[in-house]
Amino acid sequence: MYDVQFYRQKSIGSYVVDFYAPAARLVVEVDGSQHQDQIHAQNDATEMSH
């Protein structure tokens, strides 16, 4: 559509993001049911603070 390259499951530092578009400096996280348990919720809160 806009010639933006996206990568799936990209490792960035100690995180693995769902989609990454480096030229646009864009990260997209798609939350599924695995993010509902307590440990993942805590990890997600830490990630969102960066």
**For the chain, what is the domain count?**
1
Tell me, yes or no, whether 41 lies in a domain: yes
Residue 14 has which token pair?
């100690």
Which residue, among 28, 21, 30, 26, has the nearest Cα to 3 in the 3D structure? 21
Do the Cβ atoms of 34 and 44 come closer than 8 Å? no
Sign of CA dihedral 47, 21, 28, 9: negative
Give Cβ neighbours of residue 31 (< 8 Å, ≥ 6 apart).
Answer: 44
Classify residue 24: in a domain, yes or no: yes
Q: What is the pLDDT of residue 31?
A: 74
Q: Is residue 1 part of a domain?
A: no
Domain annotation covers residue 29: yes
Indicate whether 11 belongs to any domain: yes
| Residue-range definition of the domain harbouring residue 44 | 7-48
Question: Does the residue 2 lie in any domain?
Answer: no
Is residue 42 situated within a structural domain?
Answer: yes
pLDDT for 21 equals 95
Query: Would you state the pLDDT for residue 45?
Result: 65
Q: Tens digit of pLDDT for each residue in 1-50?
A: 578 899 999 998 888 899 999 999 999 988 766 656 666 666 666 666 65
